[in-house]
Structure formats: C-alpha cells, structure tokens
Chains A and B, each alone.
Chain A
C-alpha cells in the first residue's frame, strides 16, 4: 500500500514537472484555478457538495464538472462569444453554497446537470483567458488537473468534516461562508 501511494505521489510530482516545463514560461493553466477566489471556492464547493450528497455522487458530480470545464475550455479557445459567463461563475459560488447550506438532496442527474452548466462557465473563462503563446494541450491538462485536485480537497475535506459529531452543521456553515462570498462576487460584478 505504501509503495503504491509513493508511486502515485512520485508520478503526480514528476508529471507536473514534465508538463509545467512545456507550459512555462508564461501563464500556465496549472495555476489558473488557484489564481481567483471565485474558481477556487466553486471547485472546493463542488467537492464538498458531492461529499454531502454521498454515494455515487462523490465521483460523478466532480467528474461532470471537470468534463464540462473541458468543453467550456475548448469553446473559450475558439473565442466564440458565450454570454453571462462571469455572472455564471459568481452565481455558481452562491448556488453551490446554498445547496450545501440547505443540505437539499437533489436527484443525482439534476446535480450533474447543474454542476455541468457551472463547469462550462468556469472552463470558458479559463480557455478565453489563455495566453496566445501557450500550448493549448498543456494548458488544458494543467487547469483540469488542478480543478480535479480542488474537487478532491472539497470532497475529502467534506468527508472529514462529516466524520465529526457535529459535522453536518459545520459543513452547512461552510456552505454559508460560500454564500457570503458568492454575494460579494455578485455585487462586485461590473455593471
């Protein structure tokens, strides 16, 4: 078990080094999801919500977001105009926070559809903001892996919180914090 864990870790670290070496210099996709509080909170919230939903949702909901990010990223590269993406990103933080705070258990296909819609907005923003000199494939690989890592942080963090005696309340409080950040982002949107 320890050997497998060590190999996975080594692969992750050296894999990043390999791809980053090509993505750098310049803006690399790896860092993009970490560079804005809107992306970061939304991605962690997707993971936390999937942990709250439990069962198959813990894999399928984040996966739907990552796939939708890929689609959104490709649309963004081509610079096809997609309206309301910035609003969609800000609203996604608010709605994901609301879903966690209310602890409302949606049917899994609805959760996947909703998260997919948000994923397209986030992916579009990533693809649209890609510097022209950067390799598209390395850029997209970068932001998808970082997104998956953030989902894992949210999902595992959610499971850890739920292990506690009052975990359900704590997780709902975290949803409340996401709501506040979402409102702050919506208010801050350019008119």
Chain B
C-alpha cells in the first residue's frame, strides 16, 4: 500500500491498494487466529503424488533460473537483497524437495502416536496462523520501508538507477499466494513457506544492520536510521519459529520411520 501511495501510475495505484488491503485483511486474521485457536484453520492435508511434486520442482527450478538471469543481468551489480532472495529460493527448493515435499506438516502434534502418523492423511496442518502472523508483520515492515523511501536509499547506496526493482511488492504477492496454497492444501504452499521463511531470516537483518552500516561508512555518518529499520526484525520471529517447528518435526519423524 505504501508503494501504491507514492506512485504516479494509476494501474500501480489500484493493484498496490488492492494487494495491500487484501494482505492487511489476511494478516490481521492471522493475528486473530494466532491468539484464538480455531478448528476451522486446522486443515487436513493429503499426501501428494510424485508426479505433482516433480512438476512443481521443475516449475520452481525454472523460475529460479529465470530469476538468476535477472540477477546476473542487473546493472552494475546485484544488490544484497536480490542475492538473498536468490539464495533463499535455491535453498528452499532443495530443502523442500529433500524433506517435506511428499510429507505433510503437522506442527502442533505433541504425542508420539501423532508423530508416527506423520505420513497419514489425517495429519493436521496448523502452520497457517503463524505464517499469517509473519505476513502481517512483513506488511508492517513494507509500510515503514515504502513510506521512508527504501528504494531510493538502496538505489543511492549502491549507485543503481531508479526504478529499483519492487522486490517487496513481488514478495508480498508471492507470500499471499503461499498462504492461499497452504490453505488449499497445494504442495506449492509448503515450498513458499520454506522460501519465505528462509528469505525473511536472511534479508531482514540487511535493513536493520547491513544497509545502515554501509550508508554510515559511505557517507562518514554515525550509525543511523535506515528505512524499514524499526520493524525489520519483527517478521523474523514467526519465521524462525516456523523453521524451528518444521525442522523439529522433520527430524522427529525421520527418527521413528
């Protein structure tokens, strides 16, 4: 929405406003359901076929190759946030393919029997509220970053020409798609959750620490405020929690298989 508010283009304005309002609604519902556990958000996931997983893997690898083309062609060189997105994309695909692609996410199960039923069709998926909370906090961060002119600062810092790629806008749309896929029990939902969480863990410290430091060194200033700095670490909390739960779940389930 911040992006929409600062643009002169009417199509960007409406798409930005629409996406922002949708994200705000989805994010707020995530906050609500995180505090109030609701049975309707416990989704049963079915184990997907190998063919579908292979198709999604091929599709996501293809997207990764296209994104690599964009990164390697960026002038004069790719910025750290573009690189971290690429790293998280590749890491996410490899992790997803080798761990949870053919399995279900059952993050709130606490007893051994539930762990042993990991592959069963009754496995429950309760990652969604945490993921929606992460979305809401990420939206908060993008608001601060956009209003404080994040793109302009990054463009000046790295000596690149505007328009700087609207990565945050693309990322929020992708995350929203991930939330819908997760709710609809599509395997791509799991992949987007992994990529999004890894990306948030890797890229959020940039605005908090790296960019202000680089700006301070470049302009000989003391360490100071950089757009998005105050809220950049907030989405990391649910992201780390999700990754921790996924990894714990995976290792426990492997131990009993």
Contacts and interface: CB of A to CB of B under 8 A. Distances in A.
Interface in A12-29: 12-13, 16-17, 20, 24-25, 28
Contacts of B97: 2, 5
A13 B83 CA distance: 13
Most buried by B among A13, A17, A34, A159: A13
Interface stretch (B56-64, B169-177, B227-235): B56-64
B70 A9 contact: no
Given A160-B56, A163-B55, A153 B62 contact: yes
B170 to A, nearest CB: 13
B66 interface: yes
Size category, A interface: 20 to 34
A28 B55 contact: no
Interface string B46-88: 0000011001111101111110111011011000000000000
Contacts of A157: 59
Nearest to A153: B62
B52 A163 contact: yes
A102 B73 CA distance: 37
Contacts of B72: 16-17, 20, 24, 30
A183 interface: no
B66 A150 contact: yes
A150 B98 CA distance: 26
A156 B63 CA distance: 11
- A-side binding surface: helix, strand, loop or mixed? helix
Given A25-B75, A159-B55, A31 B62 contact: no
A160 B59 contact: yes
A156 B65 contact: no
B62 A20 contact: no
Contacts of A159: 55
A82 interface: no
Interface residues of B, number: 24
Contacts of A34: 66, 69-70
Contacts, number: 63
Contacts of B68: 12-13, 16
A5 B64 CA distance: 13
A2 B131 CA distance: 29
A152 B73 contact: no
A130 to B, nearest CB: 15
A37 interface: no
B66 A160 contact: no
A149 interface: yes
A12 B66 contact: no
A153 B58 CA distance: 9
Nearest to B60: A156
Contact of B55 (A20, A25, A146, A156): A156
Contacts of A9: 61, 64-65, 90
Chain A CB count within 10 A is highest, among B52, B72, B90, B97, for: B72
A31 B63 contact: no
B174 to A, nearest CB: 15
Contacts of A152: 58, 62
B75 A160 contact: no
A149 B64 CA distance: 10
A52 to B, nearest CB: 15
B65 A13 contact: yes
Contacts of A31: 69-70, 73
A152 B65 CA distance: 11
Contacts of A5: 57, 61, 97
B59 A149 contact: no
Report, nearest first, the 6 A-B pairs whose CB atoms are least far apart.
Answer: A31-B73, A156-B59, A20-B72, A30-B69, A152-B62, A12-B65
